[in-house]
Structure 1
Amino acid sequence: MSTGTTKYAVLPTRFGHRPVTTATTPHVQLDQYAPRPLQNELWSLMVGLRGVTSGRSGISFPQTRALHLDPQIARGPEDAFMSGTEFAHLHGDGSGSLHVALPPARAAEAIRTGWAEEHPVVTMGLGPETWVMLYGPRNDTGLGVVWQLVQDSHAFACG
């Protein structure tokens, strides 16, 4: 696994309490849904990332929209991906939450600052510590932070 020396912008602490989520799979956010316009804006940004093709997720519900990285540039470690070259997906349940793979230190920071939580497969010892759920953004500040974390996930997948 790559330890990397990438410098990241420091994440602000998320305001308010964490959303309620399920503790098992399927892992879903149950409250504090992101407004639909913010979800649409985030998705528009996500599909504009270099080398990305959108499609169905290999590990989530059919309505989930996934980002698949072109195999030619998918040079990240194995734990930068959730299925094949899928490194992130936006849930189709209306919550605006996402699952992404982040470098371990960045995943820990996102959790510590309140923007994310470990995927249940991590807590069960069945998946890498890189897999997290990002909570749906509630406002423009949240959109900026979540977008930054998606870009970090993309960079991790690119190697």
Structure 2
Amino acid sequence: MTFPALPERAGDRPGTGPEVPHLQLTQPSPPQIKEALRRWMATALPGTVSGRSEISVPSTWAVFLSDAAPAGGARLFLPRGNAEFVHLHADGSLHLALDPADHAAFLASGWGEKHPLYDRGVNVVMFYAPRDEAELEVAKKVIAAAYRYATGHAPSAGPAAA
């Protein structure tokens, strides 16, 4: 398991769409929080490249493994299944591939929900858009868990990568 302990998420659950594309409809990230998250994702995850998602809507920014195969047994995003492991929507929400052993802990944490295709074997969960700096740090911890699942090792050193 790679999933960190998380604080309780404050407030009500945001509204989300019930089908694909799975988007968050309320409580978006403020622009500066979303941009800070995107910058962190672009610099704190060694061996990755970023660009337009291969599976989500055109405005979605994704992180891909650049030069290595995923860790043994890791199931990443379709269509390739071996490169994209997290993407950031325009609303600030994220989709991530997490270790299936971590799904129950993540879902119980209140920070996200299953993707509409989750029960059909798609290894994707949504992390709700961070609304402030504290929630941004939680997002980094969950992204670090997705990175560990995808690569088999931790991202760059730092408090949010631990």
User: What TM-score range do you get, normalising by the shorter chain?
Assistant: 0.7 to 0.9
* Contact 2:93/2:127 (<8 A) preserved: yes
Q: Residue 28 of structure 2 aligns with which residue?
A: 33
Aligned pairs for 1:86-97 within 5 A? 86-92=84-90, 95-97=91-93
Answer yes or no: is 1:115 the counterpart of 2:111.
yes
Can you list the C-alpha shifts for 1:16-46, whole angstroms capped at 9, x where unaligned? 1110001111100000111110101101110
Corresponding position of 1:142: 135
- Cα distance in 2 for residues equivalent to 1:141 and 1:82: 31
Distance 1:99 1:75 in 2: 19
Amino acid in the other structure paired with 1:51 = G
Residue 9 (structure 1) shift: 2.9
> How big is each residue's C-alpha offset from its partner over 1:101-147, in whole Å with a ceiling of 9 and x where there is no partner?
11123232222111110000013x2x33x310110001111111111
Structure 2: unaligned runs, 5 residues or longer: 153-162
Find the partner of 1:53 among 49, 54, 72.
Answer: 49
**Aligned sequence identity (%):** 40
Matched, 1:9 2:4: yes
CA deviation vs aligned residue, 1:41-90 (integer Å, no higher than 9, x gap): 10111011101100111111111111011242522424234443000100
Residues 67-78 of structure 1 mapped to structure 2, 5 A cutoff = 67-72=63-68, 74-78=70-74
**Aligned pair count?**
149
For 1:18, give the aligned amino acid.
R
CA distance in 1, matches of 2:94, 2:4: 20
Which runs of 5 or more structure 1 residues have no equivalent in the other structure? Answer: none
TM-score (norm 1): 0.86
- SS in structure 1 at match of 2:131: coil
How far apart are the structure 2 equivalents of 1:30 and 1:103? Answer: 26
Q: Is the 8 A contact 1:58 1:83 kept in 2?
A: yes
Counterpart AA for 1:34: S
